Amino acid sequence: MAKEYQHLFFDLDHTLWDFEKNSKQALLELYDSYAWESILNLPVDEFLQSYYQKNEEMWALYRANKIDKATLRHRRFAETFAIYNYQHDDKVANFEKDYIHLAPQKTALFPGCMAMLQSLYANFSMHIITNGFEETQHIKLAKSGLSPFFDKIITSDKIGVNKPEAKIFVEAMRQAGADRKNSLMIGDSLLADIIGARNVGIDQVFFNPHSNQHQEKVSFEIKALDELPGLLL
């Protein structure tokens, strides 16, 4: 690699921390402990399918600034249960609260994550730039054993804007004492991570585990995290 990178900025969800696996694990456990299968007469797989669809809809509204995070959190569950004519607000609210509490405690990481971080740790300053709540993201990092690897943890919650807005990258570099030339952003989202970083002049590594087709010009692309040391060392 021609450039001398010193600062690696990683996205967290869907890049290091396996959001889908962890979220599903939490939902499966809670679906069971709330006995929804018998209450709703609904197999968990069907529930999950409806929930994921509703969750996507709500995130789309959130990204378009049409609803806030609290509304997103409430409506994705309330409206999923409403599909099955279940409108017991208190119980749904408790389920949602338990999910928000439990999911970040889950510890599944993408394959090769730990080994990759261990091999890069001595040579780079590593940081996180994540769209998420301050408290939630810190719990994920601590529980999954990621915290010790990272110097600065930058959350959109604290900065007040989400990736891909320039401000969050600029603020991350400022806190890290980095500049755009010696920085590299690694993430799974073309819009938030890759285009966001590119717009402020930071090189990018697109983590694309499912080999999704795209037309964006990216500095580097990897399919698995264990390719990263080979690129950088």
Which residues bind to Mg ion, rule: CB under 5 A?
A: 11, 13-15, 188-189
Least distance (Å) between residue 43 CB and Mg ion: 29
Return the number of the residue (182 or 187) whose C-beta is nearest Mg ion.
187
Which CB, 12 or 26, lies closer to Mg ion? 12
**Token pair in block for residue 107:** 């510890």
Query: Rounded to the nearest whole angstrom, what is the least distance from the CB of residue 82 to Mg ion in the complex?
Result: 29
Instruction: Give the nearest residue (CB) to Mg ion.
Output: 14
For residues 15 and 23, which CB has a smaller minimum distance to Mg ion in the complex?
15
Q: Which helix (H) or strand (E) holds 148?
A: none
Nearer to Mg ion, 5 or 206 (CB): 206
Least CB distance to Mg ion at residue 156 (A): 12
Name the minimum Å distance from CB 111 to Mg ion.
Answer: 16
CA dihedral sign of residues 166, 168, 173, 174:
positive
Which residue, among 196, 191, 157, has the nearest Cα to 180 in the 3D structure? Answer: 196
Torsion of CA 61, 144, 188, 14, to 10 degrees: -50
Supply the minimum distance, in Å, between the C-beta of residue 192 and Mg ion. Answer: 7
Q: Is 116 helix (H, G, I), strand (E, B) or coil?
A: helix
48 in Cβ contact with 27 (< 8 Å): yes
Task: Identify which of residues 40 and 168 has a Cβ nearer to Mg ion in the complex.
Answer: 168
Phi/psi of residue 185, each to 5°? Answer: -105, 130
